[in-house]
Amino acid sequence: MKKIALHWQILIALALALIVGILIRQLPEGFQASALATFTFIGKLFLQALRMLIVPLIVSSIINGVSGIGTGEDVGRLGFKTLSYYIVTTLFATLIGLTVVNLMTPGISDGRPVGDLIGLSEKGSDIIAKIGSQEQIRLVDIFLRMIPINIVSAAAKGEMLGLIIFSLLFGFGMTRIKGRHAEILVGFWHAIFYVMMLLTDWIMRFAPIGVFGLVAKVVLLTGLDALKPLLSLLFTVLFALGLHFFLVLPLLLKFIGGINPKDHYKAMAPALLTAFSTSSSSSTLPITMDCLEKRAGLSNRMTSFVIPLGATVNMDGTALYESIVAMFIAQAYGIDLSIMTQFTVVLLALLTSIGVAGIPSASLVAIVIILEAVGLPIEGVGLVLGIDRILDMCRTAVNVFSDTCGAVIIGKSEGEALYSK
């Protein structure tokens, strides 16, 4: 019997999860509780397996990537291309978000700010308690964490940016030593990296089951009713994300990378579906790397350099979402924001999308930073909490897709033959 391709398996699991989740919501509460516990268990197992790989994978792949790139000049050139891609696409995404939210005005319904209609009940302090402590939400702190005091503690706390900076430096240091020491280190990190990729491959086979658990849990918990009062915001975000995902990025792929977008969507499908189900770019990282190497034919050297960095730093969907939500909250409270303030929103969305971690709901923290900076009421975040999860799933898929587009475009510019059958 012909084996069903992995992305189809995941897609089927997704559809099943949706149906099963909705059906179980109709059953008695006792049954719902045990179903929820089962789904949570399955989803957690899969997520934990992926997370288990992240630290060794990020460290070994970056060290491997940077030390394998060659001279300092090569590292500089690739670094420049990568960062330019990240900044340009994130800026694009933020501007799309800002334009769409200004045109569609989801925060105003029949000429009235929706804040009145929905009835804001939560206090600012409750919101902060829900999404994290006060110290966690200062912009400077996000950037201070780039240089970790202790890499072991950074790894344990999942502060990827610090780990990435350390690994970049370590890899670069390796290009400066010679002889036996260099050989030992190169061999060692290569070997670790290959074993990590092998483990990724194994865990990926369980993706359909994991995805089923994760999505069924979300459907069972939130149902579809949570979406109703905020449908216009939902559509605004989805429309803007769609523009970026189906228009801007494929155009870049085609005209700058010379890559057929269809091939790329198909090859990246398992990573996109995993991103959608886990709402975490970091957890998806092992699968993203696997898809790029095995399905797109991108070199290990390029994948190792661009992707771990991208999973933390390049978040187009997140930046787009942040700018829409900030503007939505202003609209919902009937507050007019000047062009200058909107510009500040763009800038902060860009910066915070770089700084926040690739974990579920990370945007909410960034949104609070933006609201505080431009003087909007932070309790406005309460408006979007109900639909954040579903939008998180979508924006994470966009985040991951943009990383992969960057990787193949840069790979092509370095002379790699991709999608050669």
Closest distance of CB 243 from ligand ASP, Å = 17
Nearer to ligand ASP (CB atom), residue 32 or residue 361: 361
Interacting residue with ligand ASP among 9, 89, 279, 404 (CB under 6 A): 279
* CA dist., res. 369 & res. 355, Å (int): 12
Q: Give yes or no for a contact between 320 and 239, defined as CB atoms under 8 angstroms apart.
A: no
Nearer to ligand ASP (CB atom), residue 64 or residue 399: 399
Interhelix angle 362-374/316-332, rounded to 10 degrees, is 50
Nearer to ligand ASP (CB atom), residue 279 or residue 331: 279
Nearer to ligand ASP (CB atom), residue 35 or residue 128: 128
Q: Is 143 exposed, middle or buried (0-12, 13-18, 19+ CB in 10 A)?
A: middle
Q: Give yes or no for a contact between 163 and 151, defined as CB atoms under 8 angstroms apart.
A: yes
Instruction: Tell me: does residue 281 bind ligand ASP (CB under 6 A).
Output: yes
Window of 27-35, 88-96, 107-115, 394-402 that interacts with ligand ASP by CB under 6 A = 394-402
Nearer to ligand ASP (CB atom), residue 171 or residue 360: 360
Window of 104-112, 159-167, 339-347, 390-398 that interacts with ligand ASP by CB under 6 A = 390-398
Instruction: Tell me: does residue 326 bind ligand ASP (CB under 6 A).
Output: no
CA distances from 25 to 12, 14, 63, 226, 376 (A): 20, 17, 47, 13, 37
Closest distance of CB 312 from ligand ASP, Å = 9
Closest distance of CB 131 from ligand ASP, Å = 10
Nearer to ligand ASP (CB atom), residue 24 or residue 315: 315
Site for ligand ASP in 231-270 (CB under 6 A): none
Q: What is the phi-psi region of residue 279: left when phi exceeds 0, alpha when psi lies from -120 to 50, beta otherwise?
A: left
Q: Give yes or no for a contact between 273 and 11, defined as CB atoms under 8 angstroms apart.
A: yes
Dihedral, CA atoms, 306, 196, 361, 228, nearest 10 degrees?
A: 100
Closest distance of CB 241 from ligand ASP, Å = 11
* CA dist., res. 333 & res. 279, Å (int): 29
CA distances from 348 to 159, 279, 351 (A): 20, 22, 5
List Cβ neighbours of 337 (8 Å cut-off, separation of 6 or more). Answer: 327, 330, 345, 374
Instruction: Tell me: does residue 318 bind ligand ASP (CB under 6 A).
Output: yes
Instruction: Tell me: does residue 310 bind ligand ASP (CB under 6 A).
Output: no
Report DSSP letters for 262-293, one per residue: HHHHHHHHHHHHHHHHH--HHHHHHHHHHIII
DSSP designation for 338: P
Nearer to ligand ASP (CB atom), residue 379 or residue 388: 388
Site for ligand ASP in 356-385 (CB under 6 A): 358-363
Closest distance of CB 274 from ligand ASP, Å = 11
Closest distance of CB 280 from ligand ASP, Å = 4
Instruction: Tell me: does residue 396 bind ligand ASP (CB under 6 A).
Output: yes
Closest distance of CB 172 from ligand ASP, Å = 26
Interacting residue with ligand ASP among 64, 89, 331, 399 (CB under 6 A): 399
- Positive or negative, the CA dihedral 144, 49, 83, 151 is positive
Interacting residue with ligand ASP among 273, 392, 403, 418 (CB under 6 A): 392
- Positive or negative, the CA dihedral 31, 36, 39, 41 is negative
Window of 5-13, 20-28, 250-258, 395-403 that interacts with ligand ASP by CB under 6 A = 395-403
Residues that bind ligand ASP (CB under 6 A): 279-281, 315, 318, 358-363, 392, 395-396, 399
